Homo-oligomer: A and B are copies of this chain.
């Protein structure tokens, strides 16, 4: 394997207060960087002090959107053990996304070793307050400098770390969401199924407009403005009388890691989880009829984010009277307890650092 060199910082930063971490605002002392060039392979893999990346201004990430990332977490369990949550899932998804974006994915060993060495170097940064964790951001970018439109022959893989608290300033309070009929996140044949920066580029304006109208997130619909796709940067679940529905993966929806964990957990409890197409019309009808009991988003950052209100075509529709429902609470508690090691891990989700 490509050797990983380590250069530790001579100027370690002060740790931020663990009750004011927010999300993605603080970065640790170090980062992992490795480079790839066609014909040469991976080279210059290193742990080094967190510092700016120097890139040719003609690099394809600046012009042709070759940018892909993963989001994952490490935890300091009460026993003192440092653990990762499903790192293999993130590695596999990074590989799928790299193929779609014509970027080179790092070998699995390089990914895992870089990740472990980096977290070891920054172990003191892993917070242990309630709902805190070390957020991990592996990223692939096209770095070759050229302007003809074609895939870059060079890739940079890097990992940065950020100690985080709750994703939402509101905490676990249910969010108000806006069913979006003007802007589109992704379409079939596009990049929606991979964690490409391009999907987020399209979403920023709609999210900003929703926030200005008082809604925390956008409920993304498909090209026909009917099928429900995702909520903000999360997958979405609807709890009904007879089934729990999450939109089936259709090529434009991201296969979220937490989405998979929630499905696995619900199945283990023999709860009627169904992956199928669900439209905004059906959701509104089932709110009207009282059949829709709860709705929530799932993602690495927030884990579970209950939905209190859906705005659709000029009207706010309350879900569960705007309160967090029992299943949202149960799933959040279950997954975070496994992450923190206060409950056993029957799903083999946890990987120890050492």
Contact = CB atoms under 8 A, between A and B. Distances in A.
Nearest to A54: B52
Contact of A63 (B67, B189, B223): B67
Interface residues of A, number: 64
A245 B149 CA distance: 26
B25 A146 contact: yes
Given A201-B191, A201-B198, A202-B190, A24 B65 contact: no
Interface stretch (A7-15, A74-82, A83-91, A133-141): A133-141
A327 interface: no
Interface string A20-63: 00111101000100000000000000000010111111100111
Residue of A53, A63, A186 with most partner-chain B CB within 10 A: A63
Copies in the complex: 2
Given A61-B67, A67-B65, A201 B101 contact: yes
A212 to B, nearest CB: 12
Given A24-B146, A53-B57, A149-B233, A102 B204 contact: yes
A151 B204 contact: yes
A130 B61 CA distance: 32
Contact of A189 (B149, B150, B183, B233): B183
Contacts of A64: 197, 200-201, 204
Nearest to A224: B223
